[in-house]
Structure 1
Amino acid sequence: MRINNNMMAMNAHRQLSINNDSVSKSLEKLSSGYRINRAGDDAAGLAISEKMRGQIRGLNMASKNAQDDISLIQTAEGALNETHSILQRMRELAVQSANDTNVSVDRQALQAEVDQLSSEITRISKDTEFNTQKLLDSSFEDKVFHIGANQDQNIKLSIADMGGKAIKVEQEYTVDSNDLKTGTGTAATTVAKFVSVGGTIGTTTATVAGYYEVAGTAASTVLFRAANEAYTTSAITLGVNIYSQTEANVSITTINNAIERVSSERSKLGAFQNRLEHTIKNLDNVSENVQSAESRIRDVDMAKEMMEFTKQNILSQAANAMLAQANQAPQTVLQLLK
């Protein structure tokens, strides 16, 4: 028997340290909920888990992107829905004007409303925007919607110009007049006023109720601007014209074509929205499955770990008791010395 080195106590102490370390690790896993809390717990598992976490977060953000894309499409489609309503009202007015029970004054009143509605269609196309981006003025072209967790996983969308001119319910023509007559000493000119004849642009001659005196020498440069009788510059705006029965019939066809064009654009946006809704469902499904796989790698099995903790805790208590017994062993040497 030896008293300088108590091998039984040393062995019991070593086992107690091992058991206490295992208890500490089990407590850490149970309190954090993770099987891997540091690289030393599972180096390969940690690397795989982090890669999966990056994919999961990318998928979740892609799903959010797709939801934002749907909001943009709904904004544009809502504006086109209002455009549809306006066109239907314009068609009603054209049909009403096509009836010869209306006199000229009646058709002028109907035309006044048509003009306002046509202007509103153009205003809607210019002012409809999402996050400061114009949607219906032809500037929204080849816009990229990123709907994946990795690079280059995207789709593109273009929205056509839905203004009054684009759908043919409003047209503007600018007519220049530069036919000047020259004479000895003074210059004279006659300015023609343009009118609409049977839905086409025609001309007639009219004398302006006033004149301009232009002073200068032969080397002078003179700018001449055509103006109407009130001396204000103007352009000719055409499109839906229901001033007569014939023109009203033509306008009905024009408006029908506009309605079809808006319907086509709305159908395209609706199909795109449906696609994005399926994209979101797929992204959420992939994210769920990848997260499940990542959980199996990184998360702790609470029942199994609790069982391990209980075992290590009992072993630790047993080792502690055995250490106490081992420390009592050298006391027997004293009996030999008596």
Structure 2
Amino acid sequence: MRINSQEQIAFATNRSLRNANHIEKSVQKLASGLKIAKSSDNAAGFAISETMRTQVRGLAQAQRNMQDGLSLLEVTDEGLNNVNGLLQRARELAVMNANGTLTDNDRVTSQQELTRLLEGINDTAEKLEFNTKNILGGNSSLILQIGANPTQEMTINLVDISTTALNLNDASLLTREFAEQLITKIDDAFEITATHLTQTGSYMEALEHRLRNATLFEANLTKSLSMIEDTDVAREMMNFISLDIRQKGDHLLVNQVNRTLHDSLGLFSK
């Protein structure tokens, strides 16, 4: 008589080892939330997911770059409006001093106030900064990286609103004629600041549009990345339960075979 125990035990043991390996992978996926935790899980999928992850992180940083750019433009807008306020007061003084009823002492007092106003304009031009960068004191360019890849950038032209750029260095209120000329000069300065404000507004509108696009693109790319590498928890849990049942069944089979073998051998010992 032959007792077929070794073949059954070997079969059950081998299957149990395979199940244990599958269970370990299943637990890893459930614990990490990733169905592609390493390249051996899915080499092609891993390569694709890493490329997509790089783009997602690059887009996230690009959005922060654009937020910085918007903050810089908001500071620029505030600075230009501050200069406009100073110009408004300077024009009031010019209109007042274009009137022939003022005395020389009145004009000297007005000139002193005008000097303070022009110093305020230059102070704004020289000292208004964003992250230590002067933004209203020179005609230069600032490049923003607005995408995850090379050449995805936007150039912002910085402006100069100093009294030199506004042609107000020789502004005088000491005579009625000078005051009258100053009215025209200040009107010309308003045209310059208005152009700068319009340009600043167009930059802000363009950046906000590109920021919305980048946000949408990142969300879509993140969703695609999730579909590639994230674990389907419900499906993986069902797989884990199935493997666990098989594992317990194999253990029961081995135990049963051993018990049967022991009982069979017991018959020969009597």
Counterpart code for 1:49: S
Work out whether residues 168 and 185 of structure 2, in 8 Å CA contact, stay in contact via their aligned partners in 1.
yes
SS at match of 1:60: helix
- In the other structure, the counterpart of 2:160 is 161
1:161, 1:28 → 2: CA distance? 60
The CA deviation at 1:6 is 1.4
- In the other structure, the counterpart of 2:231 is 300
Task: Please identify which structure carries the higher strand content.
Answer: 1
SS at match of 1:330: helix
- In the other structure, the counterpart of 1:60 is 60
2:40, 2:119 → 1: CA distance? 70
2:115 corresponds to 1:115? yes
The CA deviation at 1:110 is 1.1
Choose 116-125 or 327-336, whichever is displaced more.
Answer: 327-336
2:241 corresponds to 1:313? no
What RMSD over aligned residues (CA atoms) do the two structures have, in Å?
A: 1.7
- Alignment partner for residue 190 of structure 2, among 259, 273, 295? 259
SS at match of 1:329: helix
The CA deviation at 1:122 is 1.6
SS at match of 1:322: helix
TM-score of the pair, normalised by structure 1? 0.76
The CA deviation at 1:143 is 2.0
SS at match of 2:174: coil
The CA deviation at 1:34 is 0.6
- In the other structure, the counterpart of 1:329 is 260
The CA deviation at 1:142 is 2.4
1:6, 1:245 → 2: CA distance? 119
Choose 72-81 or 248-257, whichever is displaced more.
Answer: 72-81
1:320, 1:91 → 2: CA distance? 96
The CA deviation at 1:337 is 6.8
Within-5 A mapping of 1:171-182: none
Within-5 A mapping of 1:1-338: 1-2=1-2, 6-138=6-138, 141-170=140-169, 238=170, 240-331=171-262, 332-335=264-267
1:4, 1:60 → 2: CA distance? 64
TM-score of the pair, normalised by structure 2? 0.94
Report the structure number with the largest CA radius of gyration. 1
Work out whether residues 6 and 330 of structure 1, in 8 Å CA contact, stay in contact via their aligned partners in 2.
no
Counterpart code for 2:73: I
The CA deviation at 1:150 is 0.6
Identity of aligned residues (%): 33
Counterpart code for 1:278: H
Choose 127-136 or 57-66, whichever is displaced more.
Answer: 127-136
SS at match of 2:222: helix
2:141, 2:167 → 1: CA distance? 24
Work out whether residues 94 and 182 of structure 2, in 8 Å CA contact, stay in contact via their aligned partners in 1.
yes
1:129, 1:264 → 2: CA distance? 20
Counterpart code for 1:158: N
2:177, 2:204 → 1: CA distance? 41
Structure 2: gaps spanning 5 or more residues? none
Structure 1: gaps spanning 5 or more residues? 171-237
Task: Please identify which structure carries the higher helix content.
Answer: 2
Work out whether residues 77 and 266 of structure 1, in 8 Å CA contact, stay in contact via their aligned partners in 2.
yes
Work out whether residues 5 and 258 of structure 2, in 8 Å CA contact, stay in contact via their aligned partners in 1.
no
Counterpart code for 1:275: A
Counterpart code for 2:59: L
Work out whether residues 142 and 156 of structure 2, in 8 Å CA contact, stay in contact via their aligned partners in 1.
yes
SS at match of 2:150: coil
The CA deviation at 1:100 is 2.0
Q: Give the paired residue count.
A: 269
2:65, 2:222 → 1: CA distance? 19
